[in-house]
Amino acid sequence: MKITEIFEKQKRTFSFEFFPPKDYLTAVKFGINAGQLMKLDPSFVTVTYGAGGSTQENTFNLVDMFHNDLGFVCMAHYTCVNATREKIAYDMRTLQDMGIENVMLLRGDPPKGSDSFPENPDGFNYGSDLIRFVNENYDFCIGAGAYPEKHLEAQSEEEDLINLRIKVDAGADFLTTQMFFDNKYYWDFINKAGQKGIRCRIIPGIIPITNFKNIKKFARITGATIPEEIGKKMEPYKDDPKEIYKIGLELAIDQCRDLLDNGAPGIHFYTLNKSRAAVDLYDNLSKDFKEVKNRFEKSFSPHIPEK
Ligand code: FAD
71-86 confidence digits (pLDDT tens): 999 999 999 998 999 9
Say yes or no to pLDDT of 240 above 80. yes
Angle 248-253-259 (CA atoms, 0-180°, nearest 5)? 125
| Burial annotation 20-50 (CB, 10 A radius, 16+ → b, else e) | bbeeeeeeeebeebbebbbbbbbbbbbbbbb
Whether residue 151 contacts residue 126, with contact meaning beta carbons closer than 8 Å, is answered with no
pLDDT digits (tens, 9 = 90+) for 267-295: 999 999 999 999 999 999 999 999 999 88
CA dist 264 and 50 (Å) reads 29
Strand order in the sheet with 141-146: 201-203, 174-177, 141-146, 102-106, 74-79, 44-47, 13-18, 266-270, 205-206
CA dist 93 and 226 (Å) reads 40
Say yes or no to pLDDT of 3 above 60. yes
Sign of CA dihedral 289, 291, 294, 299: negative
Q: How far is the CA of 165 from the centre of ligand 1 (A)?
A: 13
CA dist 298 and 15 (Å) reads 16
Q: Which of 74, 140, 70 is nearest to 105 (CA)?
A: 140
Say yes or no to pLDDT of 302 above 80. no
* Options 5, 8, 17, 235, the catalytic residue: 17
Supply the pLDDT for residue 109.
Answer: 83
**Residues having CB within 6 Å of any atom of ligand 1:** 48-51, 77, 79, 104, 106-109, 126-128, 145, 151, 153-154, 159-160, 163, 166-167, 176, 178, 205
Lowest-pLDDT range of 103-117, 189-203, 245-259, 274-288: 103-117
Q: What band does 2 get if pLDDT is binned at 50, 70 and 90?
A: very high
Query: What's the mean pLDDT in 216-244?
Result: 93
The end-to-end CA distance of the chain, in Å, is: 11
> Percentage of residues in the chain with pLDDT exceeding 90?
85
| Collapsed DSSP state (helix, strand, coil) of residue 295 | helix
Domain ranges of the chain: 3-297
For 3-297, which CATH class? Answer: alpha beta
Supply the pLDDT for residue 133.
Answer: 98
Q: Which atom of ligand 1 is nearest to the CA of 164?
A: 2
Q: How far is the CA of 288 from the centre of ligand 1 (A)?
A: 34
Predicted model pTM: 0.96
Q: How far is the CA of 240 from the centre of ligand 1 (A)?
A: 35
Supply the pLDDT for residue 121.
Answer: 85
Q: What band does 307 get if pLDDT is binned at 50, 70 and 90?
A: low
Supply the pLDDT for residue 305.
Answer: 61
pLDDT digits (tens, 9 = 90+) for 32-52: 999 999 999 999 999 999 865
17 is catalytic: yes
pLDDT digits (tens, 9 = 90+) for 101-143: 999 999 998 777 777 777 888 999 999 999 999 999 999 999 9
